[in-house]
Amino acid sequence: MFKKILIANRGEIALRILRTSREMEIETVAVYSDADRNSLHVRFANEAYRLGGPTPAESYLCMDRILEIAQESGAEAIHPGFGFLAENAEFVERVEAAGLVFIGPTAQAMQVMGDKIESRKAMMKAGVSVIPGMAEPLSDSCQAEQVAHEMGYPVMLKASAGGGGKGIRIIREASEMKGAFTIASGEAKNSFGDGRMYLEKYLEQPRHIEVQILADTHGRVMHLGERECSIQRRHQKLIEEAPANYVDIALRERMGAAAITAAEAVQYRSAGTVEFLLSGGEFYFLEMNTRLQVEHAITDVVYDVDLVEQMIRIAAGEKLTLPDSMQPRRHAIEVRINAEDPENNFMPSIGKIGNIRIPGGPGIRVDSALFNAMEVSPHYDSMVAKVISSGSSREQALRRMCRALQELHVGGIVTNAGVALQLLQSKGFRAGTYDTGYLERFLEAAGPVERSVPDDLEEIAAIVAVLHRVHTATGKVPLSSSPSSGLNPWVAQGRRQELLGSRS
């Protein structure tokens, strides 16, 4: 087993890896940008080294500096977390060339699965069902129009090297193709350095189901069930749960077997996730994420396994010792808490954190690197925490999540917690009948609501105190001055959180 590993990431995922490493009695090396000098992962690690300036290009994407620190610190392996260099095949090759171990898959597996076109080819060759579409990149928008006409609208225009919702457009008629192609291709070029595009048939109201894979270096590949990831906004996940809704044991095993076939086709090792779209009772390969997923925690809880520990043990050459067939023991839900403003088209919210209240109690886990006086930077992803609830049933896990979000308070910034709470309380979510378009339809349908009038003097006084404090700090009153404009439900929930915070 390794004696020391370097964690090439920041925030909650760096803390997550650090904590498991400490339990395994492995020393940790943290790296940080100037913006993260006072972060928790820096304080908790055995050693910490400065990377550079606040931007990712100056810090967490700087391969030379990370490898230099690894050699200087005596680290034997590097865990990339997710994001930044986690799926960069060149980084894997450079880590191994430096005589270090990369805690993750091989560069070859990343190269195949990181390219949407190449992964489609590999899956078709392996006999895994893929969404009807192209296996070669488009030359231009004219060819795209011709292929789309033959395929039949609507279609999905996708970047070959895309991810995180970038370089993707839904095209419903020919007149939309030229402009969408130019924008999506340019977006992909800027984000991934690769502007190649291809087309898939667009599936109306599918569900997004992903299967967790573990594979060791001794030829064993297994799956740890599925996660429901259909609650998305602009292809970015907000809420995930496991097990998935209306996926019985037979379907779970079919999808698991397909995921194992996909992993074996690229000689995969480590933790990975095979993503499918489920429509009309059939599932289709979407992509494979060759890294630890943001939502891995719900699989941890449901299957009573530490996926980070498994990744480290696999990288150290150990065999998987988990049972061949594992069944879900609990139900778990995860909500991503993002620093973004629902009143302002979910634009990022930055500021200094204050008056934090982290939820707790039975069945609640919070993965977060938040602390009072922390500066939320504009340079990184907006996710600041993950709240995970679990219970013996979906209903219990859902009740616990609603309680946790009502307890949560993050002062100094605006978050999406109120939106998530309203969504969890919606009929469609409670019934488990949602699909990938549910959140967008929910946001579109959620109009202004009448303001509730407090019925006790204590609550009125507390609200006035909150308004006075916000007005003093910002010069603005945080409620609309127009009585007819109403108050969105998620804004109302945010005010309720602020009210509760003023009483704590």
pLDDT in tens, 286-310: 999 999 999 999 999 999 999 999 9
pLDDT band at 190 (very low <50, low <70, confident <90, very high): confident
pLDDT exceeds cutoff 50 at 487? no
Residue 437 near residue 231 (C-beta atoms within 8 A): no
pLDDT exceeds cutoff 60 at 462? no
Summarize pLDDT for 409-434 with one digit per residue, the tens. 999 999 999 999 999 999 999 999 99
In this structure, the strands spanning 351-352 and 375-376 are antiparallel
Report the 10 Å Cβ neighbour count for 461.
12
CA atoms within 13 A on the CB side of 149: 8
Tokens of 452: 């509730």
Identity of the residue numbered 362: P
CA dist 323 and 396 (Å) reads 27
Per-residue pLDDT at 489: 45
Residue 405 near residue 397 (C-beta atoms within 8 A): no
What are the φ/ψ torsions at residue 495 (nearest 5 degrees)?
Answer: -65, -35
Q: How many residues does the chain have?
A: 504
pLDDT exceeds cutoff 50 at 105? yes
The DSSP output letter for 8 is -
Residue 101, CA distances (Å) to 50, 56, 82, 97 in order? 21, 23, 17, 9
pLDDT band at 450 (very low <50, low <70, confident <90, very high): very low
Residue 63, CA distances (Å) to 11, 34, 89, 407, 424 in order? 19, 17, 12, 40, 41
pLDDT exceeds cutoff 70 at 192? yes
Q: Which residue has the tokens 């999540």?
A: 401
Nearest to 274 by CA among 199, 282, 266: 266
In this structure, the strands spanning 347-348 and 221-233 are unpaired
Query: For 35-39, 424-428, 451-455, which range has the lowest pLDDT when averaged over its residues?
Result: 451-455
Residue 341, CA distances (Å) to 235, 350, 491 in order? 18, 10, 9
Query: For 2-6, 351-355, 445-449, which range has the lowest pLDDT when averaged over its residues?
Result: 445-449
- Whether this model's pTM surpasses 0.75: yes
CA dist 180 and 251 (Å) reads 36
Query: For 54-68, 82-96, 207-221, 444-458, which range has the lowest pLDDT when averaged over its residues?
Result: 444-458
pLDDT band at 474 (very low <50, low <70, confident <90, very high): low
pLDDT band at 81 (very low <50, low <70, confident <90, very high): very high
CA dist 470 and 477 (Å) reads 7
Residue 256 near residue 299 (C-beta atoms within 8 A): no
Query: For 193-202, 393-402, 433-442, which range has the lowest pLDDT when averaged over its residues?
Result: 193-202
CA dist 265 and 278 (Å) reads 21
Residue 233 near residue 324 (C-beta atoms within 8 A): no
pLDDT exceeds cutoff 70 at 267? yes
Query: What residues contact residue 393 under an 8 Å CB cut-off, 6+ apart?
Result: 331
Residue 291 near residue 80 (C-beta atoms within 8 A): yes
Report the 10 Å Cβ neighbour count for 351.
14
Report the 10 Å Cβ neighbour count for 204.
11
In this structure, the strands spanning 347-348 and 155-163 are unpaired
Per-residue pLDDT at 476: 54
Tokens of 482: 């127009």
Domain 132-201: CATH architecture, name and number where available: 2-Layer Sandwich (3.30)
Percent of the chain at pLDDT above 70?
Answer: 88
Per-residue pLDDT at 319: 98
**H helix runs in 101-176, sequence order:** 107-114, 116-126, 141-151
Query: For 31-35, 320-324, 488-492, which range has the lowest pLDDT when averaged over its residues?
Result: 488-492
Summarize pLDDT for 162-173 with one digit per residue, the tens. 666 778 899 999
Nearest to 105 by CA among 215, 239, 221: 215
Domain ranges of the chain: 4-103, 106-131+203-328, 132-201, 448-503
Which SS3 state, helix, strand or coil, does residue 75 take?
coil
Tell which wins on pLDDT, 35 or 470: 35
Nearest to 13 by CA among 103, 108, 89: 103
**Average pLDDT value for residue range 129-143:** 90
Tell which wins on pLDDT, 465 or 353: 353
Nearest to 158 by CA among 133, 175, 176: 133
CA atoms within 13 A on the CB side of 136: 6
Identity of the residue numbered 174: A
When the pLDDT of each residue in the chain is averaged and rounded to a whole number, the result is 89
What are the φ/ψ torsions at residue 359 (nearest 5 degrees)?
Answer: -70, 160
349 DSSP β-pair partners:
none
Per-residue pLDDT at 160: 86
Residues identified as active-site? 291
Residue 37 near residue 61 (C-beta atoms within 8 A): no
Note the CATH number of domain 106-131+203-328.
3.30.470.20
Cα dihedral across residues 47, 81, 313, 307: positive or negative: positive
Residue 387 near residue 14 (C-beta atoms within 8 A): no
Rg of the chain taking only CA atoms, in angstroms: 23
CATH class of 4-103: alpha beta
CA dist 367 and 15 (Å) reads 8
Helices then strands, counting H and E runs in the chain, come out as: 17, 22
CA dist 104 and 459 (Å) reads 52
Per-residue pLDDT at 480: 36
Which SS3 state, helix, strand or coil, does residue 338 take?
strand
